[in-house]
Amino acid sequence: MNQPRLLDGKSVAAAVLDECRAEVEALKSRGTTPGLAVVLVGDDPASHVYVGSKVRTCGELGIFSRKIELPANTTQDELLKVVRDLNADPAIHGILVQSPPPAHINEEEIIRAIDPRKDVDGFHPENVAKLALEDPTGFVPCTPAGCMKLLEVAGIETNGAEAVVVGRSMIVGKPMALLLVSKKSNSTVTIAHSRSRDLPAICRRADILVAAVGRPEMVKADWVKPGAVVIDVGINRVADPSKKSGYRLTGDVAFEEVAPLCSAITPVPGGVGPMTIAMLMKNTLQAARQSQA
């Protein structure tokens, strides 16, 4: 059986954060302390964990962070006021409203209310347009940016490669496809989803297969071409009575059966996950740097 190359997100993320640490010091020497505000509405346990990781990483790098925790019954108008106040705060260069918010919040309106110059998630329509136009002043969504960094560091050839992205969200699927088809990457890209006809056959064409659907172990061995590179963006909790927590984390790819077929694959956890926070820090520094211009 083939021993696949594991694309280690922890080590690549650590290298990115080292670069960020040096840039924080350089920005501070010029009188700018980068600032990130993270807004959390409600008490979703997973969101609390993610927000805690972001705030902790800011502290480790010397980035000023402000965590704003709001109750689950916060109204749309109250949240919009928080966003507008942060837009006007010169100490804050990046604003992130943790997703998903409670069901009564119109998330799209909140995203559009964030100053695009502070939209370090890269979800504002202005930044989506800049990504499509390959304008480097825009912010690239953190998870797809992290996936591309993994491919780059691993030396995986994207030029002319057939890439299949399973998932069409604005958070991962669509921006991932735009990055792969860009002039820098030059891949031939197919975006597939749950309604694609003969999804396994589409996936089998891929030299680079990106799974971002949020369905545990959906991608099976017979979906993967031998020698393919597989990027597993999914992180799902699956019940497991043998674990102290009562669950285990798994990706969108059935790792044990798929890995032997691959030339390279990301593990879950430890693959794409660490890259997302690293790229958020990178975006925050970009926002701080551009604020000086």
Catalytic residue among 98, 118, 282, 286: 98
Assess whether 286 carries a catalytic annotation: no
Cβ-based neighbours of 143, under 8 Å, separated by 6 or more: 171, 172, 176, 212, 233, 272, 275, 276, 279
d(CA 96, CA 223): 36
Amino acid residing at 207: D
Assess whether 119 carries a catalytic annotation: no
Catalytic residue among 8, 10, 43, 54: 54
Assess whether 54 carries a catalytic annotation: yes
Catalytic residue among 119, 121, 232, 252: 121
Active site residues: 54, 98, 121
